[in-house]
Structure 1
């Protein structure tokens, strides 16, 4: 990835040049989606109820869509194939979730505080998905596997 050219200290550049780091970082980025997709798949009835609770009807359709996006999109990002599609789908799902489930503007007290934090955590996650898509097409100059 030629991290030395970016002005990083030598030890940081050495760490960032490790071939195992990009796939591990991509897996960590989407880990919540993998866990969420597996949990929804394992207890589909609860997933349907969750979707209906947030006003998404029919619940079974939204639950099935969430499972496909969470697992399929995660696979695209982890295996660095069709990253734009996987990260884009995960970002869209996250945007829906942040507006539906974290409506801090309608809440007060502790609920407002928690929803506000969750809203902006989701926004940061969308930004990270955009960034992983931006670097997906960059070929490493050292010939090692990068974030592509």
Structure 2
């Protein structure tokens, strides 16, 4: 990684460390990995979660969530078809934001918590977009 004007040399050295990008990609999708594994390990609970949010047929939404969470994470971590993995995870996150974090329909503390969760998820989607952009730029160099 070439040093960018104005970036301290030690920062450039840290950002160029071998394995840092892999570690960052893994950390970015870690919530999806954990969620997918938990849903797979307790499928009835995964179905109940989807039903709780009104998604029907709940079993199909649970299967879709598991496939996207685990498959998308694997693609992002492996650095293969990152656009597909990150895109799937981003869409899943957007759906969950609208279904589970409907802050506009809540009041008081519940509204505060849901608003925070909504915008945290929006930031996660931005991170997924950035990793897809980085992957595309890396391919084109």
Relative to structure 1, the CA distance from residue 120 to residue 58 in structure 2 (aligned partners, 3 Å threshold; closer, same or farther) is same
Normalising by structure 2, we get a TM-score of 0.96
User: What is the match of residue 118 of structure 2?
Assistant: 119
**Higher mean C-alpha deviation, range 6-15 or range 41-50:** 6-15
Question: 2-side partners of 1:18 and 1:87: how far apart?
Answer: 23
Question: 1-side partners of 2:6 and 2:120: how far apart?
Answer: 28
User: What is the match of residue 42 of structure 1?
Assistant: 41
Instruction: Report SS of the residue matched to 1:18.
Output: coil
Ranges in structure 2 where 5+ consecutive residues have no aligned partner: none
Instruction: Report SS of the residue matched to 1:35.
Output: helix
> After superposition, what is the alpha-carbon deviation per residue over 1:59-115, rounded to whole angstroms, capped at 9, x for unaligned?
100000000000000000001000000000000000000000000000001100000
Is 2:121 aligned against 1:134?
A: no
User: What is the match of residue 144 of structure 1?
Assistant: none
Question: 2-side partners of 1:7 and 1:59: how far apart?
Answer: 52
Instruction: Report SS of the residue matched to 2:31.
Output: helix
Shift of 1:19: 1.3
Ranges in structure 1 where 5+ consecutive residues have no aligned partner: 141-147
Relative to structure 1, the CA distance from residue 6 to residue 60 in structure 2 (aligned partners, 3 Å threshold; closer, same or farther) is farther
Question: 2-side partners of 1:7 and 1:79: how far apart?
Answer: 32
Shift of 1:18: 0.6
User: What is the match of residue 31 of structure 1?
Assistant: 30
